[in-house]
Structures are given as C-alpha cells and as structure tokens.
Chain A
C-alpha cells in the first residue's frame, strides 16, 4: 500500500506530526494521505510518562484544545522539591534554590496515555489512517532512500513455522516516512547506524523510568501537587530522581528515574523504586491507597549534545526516537510534539514543491535551528552532563547558576562521552546490594507488578528479545557482571535458572514491557529488542 506520508509510532511526536500534516493539507485544499502505525493494541497502550505537561506545542497544534475537551488533567498548583539525604529524612528545597526550569506553574499533571488517545481521535477525525496493533518491523530502503516500512508478520509459531492463520508482513510505502517510535526505537537505531546520523555527536544517554499509579482516599488527595526528589536511595550508586504527582480522580503517579550509566551490576532499578516508596515523605501520600497500575520505559536524556542528525533520504527521525527531551525541565512531551510539528511543516512544504518525495530534507535542520525547540535544548545542554560529572549537589549548583543567572548560555558545553553500557563495572569490583523483601502494602515484587501492566504476548511466537551471541549470556554477562539483566529488567524477563547441567539464561519474553532497557544497558550490546507480533506488550490505561 502507498501513502504520501507514513508515521511510525502513535505517541505525542507521531500524532502531532500526522495531525499537522492533515491540517496543512486541509488549509491548502490538497489531498494528502497519512498513515500512522502503532505497535500497541490501541493508541496509548504503550504510552508511559510522569507526566507534568507544558502546553506550548499543543497550543500551536490545536489552539482550542480546551474547548475541544483535551484531557489535560489538573493544573499544577504546588511544587515541592526534596533532597533525601537518606531513608528517613528529607531536605525541602525552597523555590529560589531551584533551577528555573524546575518550576511548574502553568503546567498540567496529565496522563500522557489519555492525551495520546485524544490526539488519536483528533487525528482520525482529520482523516489520518491509524492502524494500532501493527508494528513496523523493517525498513524499506531502495537505492539509499527510505521508501517505507514492512509491518511485522502475524501467526509465526515459536519454532519458526507458519501457523494456519499466518499473515506475512506488508510493505507500506510512502513519499516520506517519519519515525517516532519513542526512546531507542529499533528502526530509529537502525537508521542512525545506516545513515551514520550520530557522527560527531556524544553518545545518547538513557535512564529507566519506573512508574506506578495509585488510587488514594479523597481526603488525602491534593490535585495539582507536584513533588520531585533527588538523593536517596540512588545517591552513591546511581544518578536519577523521583516524582510524585497528584492528578485527577484521586490518583497519584509515583515514579523513580534511574540513569542507566550506573556502575554497580547489583543495582536493581525496580527494587530501588520499591524501597524509595518507603521514605516517610513519599509513603504518607500513598498510605491507605491501592496500587492500580505499573509500568516502565527507557528515556533518552542526552539532549542537545547527543541529538543525532534527524533527516535522511526519504524521512525524518523525531521525538524521543531522536532524543528531543529537555532534561533541565524533565519534560519531553512538548518537545517531542514540536519536533513533530516541524517535521510536518517541512514535509508538507517539500511535497508542495515536488510530489515525488524521497529527498533528504536538509531544510528540517534549518527549521529546527530557528525554533524554540532548539533554543530550549541548547539552553539545557549542560544539565545532564553536569549532574553526571559533578554529582547531584555540585552539578545541581552548576545548573542553578547556568539556568538562573545565564539562562543556559554559560559559554561552555560539558560532554559526557562514555556510552551508558560501558560504565558497568565487573561484579567482583562491586558490593552486592541487599534489598528488603516487599511488604505487600507499599512495596511489591516484580511479578505482581508486571501483572498490573496488563502485558501480554501471543505465547506461540518466536522470542522478540534476541541474543546476537547466546554464549555471552553465561561467559560474560553471568561470569563477569553477575547477570545484570535479571536486575535492570523491570518485568523479570531475564532469569538465570540453575539446572543439573549448570546455569542457563531463560528469557520470559511474554513479560516484556517494551521499555528497551536491555537493548541499551547490556554490557556487550548483545541483547536486541525486536518488535513482537503486533498488539503485544503492555496495555496501559492512563499512564
């Protein structure tokens, strides 16, 4: 099948791009076919974010979003920021001590999943052909030009044979293809390699974000309260931070972000998150409530210095697939959407000039540089690197000076040249970390958590997590690093099973949350995340 524009991924970037394309076509009285593929079972099913949302890009995309009933949750009414020196005390930081970018007045506590579902319905109303449950599996490249994608096949059995209901993948071609798969998309990764898009840039840096949704008694709920924290439990072992947002309908979103440049292979982001919730400052919000959802997702947070070239012959790479998150604001939705808007405007103008398409849209770079998105990312360029190089305290001080006194224009650019997976130290050089057993009230185990993600994959299909060299699982990962994948995976996909013949790595691919952490953090880059049968994976409700 052929379209004018094909968008891969139904998150904020992809949906903003598809909507803008249709708006531009309608305004110009042009026919323009736009197709959007989403691997989740429905739009929003794989969306997970905090989220505190800045409306700047949405204001540009749909100025009357309020009247049209956009689900923007509740306005932020109060910001609290803490530094946790250890597990029982907390230092509340006054507003003036914070980098300006951390103030949230005018923003909203939202569920990004709900917002995406709404954007999806807006897009469909404009005539975008949305196909949830179909993964873009492979790139279509002809004579060095990306001409579309091939969707994943359906109905292949675990043993590789074709089941009676087998459906081969389908080639979807387009004049321009926009890749908006989110952080570490497997096609984005392939494009960066194929077209050498990251040449001359710092490596991308990542974090894993773990999140739970709680329903709490109305009398303990303060809609619009936003709590951020740093320090314990990560201090000393890893960088990162925490969030706790009071949203609508008596829900609280609570989460921990763990930077994936941590060194100790015994670190378990999942268990750090569980023990983080036991801090009295956090626990008091959750007491008396019940946990109703759980999920995790990797985050691309390298920012400006890690941002690859976003254009190549036949298409664009946008949003977190490229890495447009603003780490200084710890927000990526508005920047992802803005990259989608610029992509749409660039593509539409290009098609107006030449209907054939397939060009390398170098003018995207110019449009990007002229936009507030570039300005934001440039101003925030040192934020993450400062924290990595100088630690939370001194890095934080640097960021305060840079953001508040210089507006991000300090004439230095800090770099962070070591990829996250290279930072892991051998287990022998590290102290094992002992985590307390979950209490079943505030903290929980992995499997009961994964249960709440609604994740599911057709059982009889080939595993979608592949080891390039299966032998390394034991000779390197286990022997040298004590099998870190059994700890950083938030879903318990990886398990070392002791058998008579010795230990063996078991991959429970059906538990996978599509967070991509294994693809990022594996020390030998030996684990590859590939899309499973469409519609598989988590089914997040309002994450």
Chain B
C-alpha cells in the first residue's frame, strides 16, 4: 500500500511570530521555518505503518516555494521514500492545496493520505476535509490512533467527553492529532541518506490546477496586550470591582 503524506512549511513553533510593521501579514524574513508539527506526526505514523509491513511506499508532498525542499528532506530523513514538490510562489490557500493534492493523488494512486489536522500558522483545519470531499473518499479527522486491517482502517478520535472509533474502507483520508504518536529524531546517517532520495518538482500548471487565491487578507494585527493586574485590599473591594468595573457579577 502506498501512503501519501502532505507536509507544510510553517514558522517554527519555537519562534515568537510577529506581525509585519505594515499589518499586511506575518513577518517571515529571517524567521526559522520548520515542518508543521502535526505533519511530522503524520510522517511518523506512515513510517510506523511501513515498519509494521502495512505500507510499502511513503511519498511526501509539499506545496509552495522552493525552500519547501528543506521540509521534504526532513520527511525523507524521517523515513519517507521519495518526495514531490509542487513549486509556486503564489500564496496558497487550503482549497488550492486540496486541489493540488487531489491531482497528486490521481497521479500517484495512494490508498491512504495522512496529513496534519491543521497547520500551526493559519490554523485553518480545512485541507484534509476538502481533499476528502474532492476525492469523494471517507475521512477521519483528529486521529489519536490508527489501525489498518486489510482493506479497512480503524481510526480513534478524541472528541468532547471521550473517544470515538470510526471504521472506513480504503482509500481514505486521515488527519492527525497531537497524541497519535511522538515523532522520532532524524539521525545523522538518515539525514545523509535523505539527501540522495528522489525529489521531483512539479508546477500547479503541470497538474492543471488553478491556485489563484479566493480569499483576500485585509489586515493582520496582534492581539491587544494584556493589561497589568491590580492588587485589592479586601474581599469587599474585589466584589465591588467585579460588579462595577468588570461587570461579571450582578
């Protein structure tokens, strides 16, 4: 079974993201980028399925600027077999990415697509669902456990108040939650080997996909700074403030 793992290049989770001075978007110049952590979990799950003998090949795919190669190399170092980059400098929105991934699925014919439930930059949480809809495949989002049995896949999801287990027939789309697994470290020899694994570059035009943005960003601003607290001298003063200033009690 072939698994497709889409990975996204995002601002590193350690970096304190900041809005550009002109409010047009996030500052990306001189900012460390990394693989979206949820996608890293997706890569790890695919690698584990391969180690368990369930999967035969793992193809990592990323869409965006040429530098996304760094994240694809990371996926290859973690255990993916080969990589595809759909290269474009156009700002990619979830629908465009889903369409690109659909075109890749048509080309590669994987039985399973595993990807992060969302990316930590825009937190859209849409690509996996849109892809499933475009493919007309079953989907299981927010997976915290995945088990493949023949032509069936069982996915456990964390929902409010408990766990939900879904069974689907392959092919299917699964999006990963934080608790699915803990990704391994890329070792030095594997990083070296990854440099030699195949990485193919495509363009949206070659895939016949129009990636023009459908949404316009009007303005990005930072949340207002939290005001400093005050010390109150008595319970009566606290109650008074809660009632008259904060107006949270009648």
Contacts and interface: CB of A to CB of B under 8 A. Distances in A.
B188 A454 contact: no
Contacts of B31: 541
Interface stretch (A162-170, A182-190, A353-361, A493-501): A162-170
Contact of B16 (A1, A155, A451): A451
B229 interface: no
B184 interface: yes
Interface string B168-196: 00000000000000111101110110000
Contacts of B191: 131
Contact-residue bracket for chain B? 10 to 19
A41 B30 contact: no
Interface in A342-366: none
B12 A1 contact: no
A338 interface: no
Contacts of B21: 215, 250
Contacts of B192: 1, 129
A249 B183 CA distance: 38
A41 B32 contact: yes
B18 A292 contact: yes
Given A215-B21, A250-B21, A454-B16, A167 B30 contact: no
A23 interface: no
Contacts of B185: 154-155, 165, 167
A541 B183 CA distance: 26
A280 to B, nearest CB: 25
Interface string A499-521: 00000000000000000000000
A41 B13 CA distance: 12
Contact of A456 (B14, B184, B189): B14
A225 interface: no
A134 interface: yes
Interface in B1-44: 12, 14-16, 18, 21, 29-32
A452 to B, nearest CB: 6
Given A111-B30, A167-B185, A249-B29, A454 B15 contact: yes
B182 A165 contact: yes
Which 7 A-B pairs rank lowest in CB-CB distance, beginning with the nearest? Answer: A541-B30, A542-B30, A456-B14, A154-B185, A165-B184, A454-B15, A539-B32
Interface of A: 1, 41-42, 45, 111, 113-114, 129, 131, 134, 151, 154-155, 164-165, 167, 170, 172, 215, 249-250, 292, 451-452, 454-456, 539, 541-542
Given A45-B32, A539-B15, 11 more contacts: A42-B32, A114-B30, A165-B182, A167-B185, A170-B189, A172-B188, A454-B15, A454-B32, A539-B32, A541-B30, A542-B29
21 contacts: A1-B188, A41-B12, A42-B32, A111-B30, A113-B30, A129-B192, A131-B188, A165-B184, A172-B188, A249-B29, A250-B21, A451-B16, A454-B12, A454-B14, A454-B16, A454-B32, A455-B14, A456-B14, A539-B12, A541-B31, A541-B32
